[in-house]
Amino acid sequence: MEMFALEGRVAAVTGAASGLGLAMAEALSTAGATVVLLDIDEAGLDRAREDIRAAGGRAESAVLDVSDRAAIRAGIDAIAARHGRLDAVIANAGVTAGPGYRTEAGQINAVRDEQWDQVLSINLTGVFVTIQSAAAHMKRQRSGRIVAVASVAGLKSEVMCGYAYTATKAAVVNLVRQAAMELAPYDVMVNGIAPGPFRTNIAGGRIRQPEIEAEFASMVPLGRIASPDEIKGLAILLCSQASSFMTGITIPVDGGIMAR
Give residue-wise pLDDT tens across range 83-106. Answer: 999 999 999 999 998 889 989 999
Digit-coded pLDDT (tens) for 219-243: 999 999 999 999 999 999 999 999 9
What total number of domains does the chain contain?
A: 1
pLDDT number for residue 203: 59
Contact 39, 54 (CB under 8 A): no
Can 165 be counted among the known catalytic residues? yes
β-pairing verdict for 144-149 and 88-91? parallel
From CA 125, how far away is CA 67, in angstroms rounded? 7
Catalytic choice (101, 163, 165, 186): 165
Indicate the pLDDT class of residue 206, thresholds 50, 70 and 90. Answer: confident
Its domain, for residue 139, covers 2-259
Residues 140-189 pLDDT 10s: 999 999 999 999 999 999 998 999 999 999 999 999 999 999 999 999 99
Which stretches of the chain are assigned E, i.e. beta strand?
10-14, 34-39, 58-63, 88-91, 144-149, 188-195, 250-253
CATH number at residue 244: 3.40.50.720
Q: pTM for this structure?
A: 0.96
